[in-house]
């Protein structure tokens, strides 16, 4: 009712002819960073001199930047994937794509995610067979069936699915990026490639060494997908000492050009 008063200025419930429930995400956006930090600063200022130094204007500015970066990350996630809905089995929040639903198909979205009585089950929980043995996920700290885990990971598949859609802000430049475009360092900070290029090593299959992206001629996206990679130092043939920027003229995973490689065999 309060939301209808704000939007349509209806003054009483009797004057409201058509009542339609609002999306729950409208009330799950959290407090705005600006008013929150301002009120927090004013409360500390008028509480007394003992608490005034605990939250200074400089602290308020840093808190505002951090909260604004987190707010922008949520907005970027919402803009790309749409609203999130809670899975009834794993209790995690996912966008409609995780439920195998096209968010632009209003009828399918209402039947599977929004409508009353809809059983929302993510694509991971659908594939988990029933069982009695459980294990604790180190990320969401929930006891889950063994079908949620792979043999080499102690993080459940539902958390891995959530990471696919998750956005975070870079701790240095505060740019909102998807989680696969950030690296988590030992200090607990999330850094993008522009702020920490040394945290993005790529393996050259010719010299078998891990190097930064600047040591390669290929783009970073190609380095992540390519099976054979070659750094700039390995573009020179070790036999004839000729440099080939066209890697097709170099033998795969070797420091020899195709001609020298054929002669050596």
Long-range contacts of 62-65 (CB under 8 A, 24+ apart): 63/37, 64/33, 64/34, 64/37, 65/174
- Is the pLDDT at 175 greater than 80? The verdict is yes
| pLDDT > 70 in the chain, percent | 88
Under a CB-based contact definition with an 8 Å cutoff, are residues 184 and 190 in contact?
yes
Q: Tell me the helix, strand and coil percentages in the chain, rounded to 5.
A: 45, 15, 45
Where is average pLDDT lowest: 53-57, 132-136, 261-265? Answer: 53-57
pLDDT at 209: 83
In tens, the pLDDT along 25-65 reads: 777 778 889 999 999 988 888 876 555 557 888 999 999 99
Angle at 221 between CA 249 and CA 204, to 5 degrees: 50
Q: Mean of the pLDDT values across residues 103-109? A: 88
pLDDT at 26: 72
- Assessment of whether the complete model's pTM goes beyond 0.85: no
In tens, the pLDDT along 7-31 reads: 566 666 666 666 666 667 777 778 8
Q: Mean of the pLDDT values across residues 101-125? A: 85
pLDDT at 15: 67
Phi then psi for residue 20, to 5 deg, are -130, 135
- Is the pLDDT at 158 greater than 90? The verdict is yes
């Amino acid at each position: 009712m309060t939301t209808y008063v704000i939007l349509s200025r209806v003054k009483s419930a009797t004057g409201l002819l058509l009542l339609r429930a609002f999306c729950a995400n409208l009330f799950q956006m959290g407090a705005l960073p600006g008013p929150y930090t301002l009120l927090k600063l004013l409360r500390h200022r008028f509480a007394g001199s003992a608490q005034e130094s605990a939250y200074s204007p400089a602290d308020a500015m840093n808190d505002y930047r951090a909260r604004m970066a987190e707010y922008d990350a949520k907005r970027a996630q919402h803009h790309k994937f749409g609203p999130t809905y809670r899975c009834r089995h794993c209790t995690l929040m996912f966008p409609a794509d995780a439920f195998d639903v096209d968010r632009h198909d209003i009828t399918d979205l209402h039947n599977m995610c929004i409508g009353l009585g809809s059983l929302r089950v993510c694509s991971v929980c659908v594939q988990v067979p029933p069982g009695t043995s459980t294990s604790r996920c180190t990320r969401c700290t929930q006891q889950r069936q063994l079908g949620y885990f792979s043999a080499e990971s102690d993080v459940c598949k539902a958390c891995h699915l959530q990471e696919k859609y998750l956005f975070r802000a870079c701790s240095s430049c505060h740019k909102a990026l998807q989680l696969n475009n950030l690296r988590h360092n030992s200090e607990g900070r999330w850094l993008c490639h522009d702020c920490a290029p040394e945290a993005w090593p790529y393996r050259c299959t010719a010299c078998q060494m891990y190097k930064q992206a600047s040591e390669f001629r290929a783009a970073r996206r190609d380095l992540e997908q390519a099976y054979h990679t070659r750094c700039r130092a390995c573009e020179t043939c070790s036999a004839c000492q000729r440099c080939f920027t066209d890697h097709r003229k170099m033998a795969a995973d070797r420091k020899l050009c195709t001609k020298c490689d054929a002669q050596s065999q």
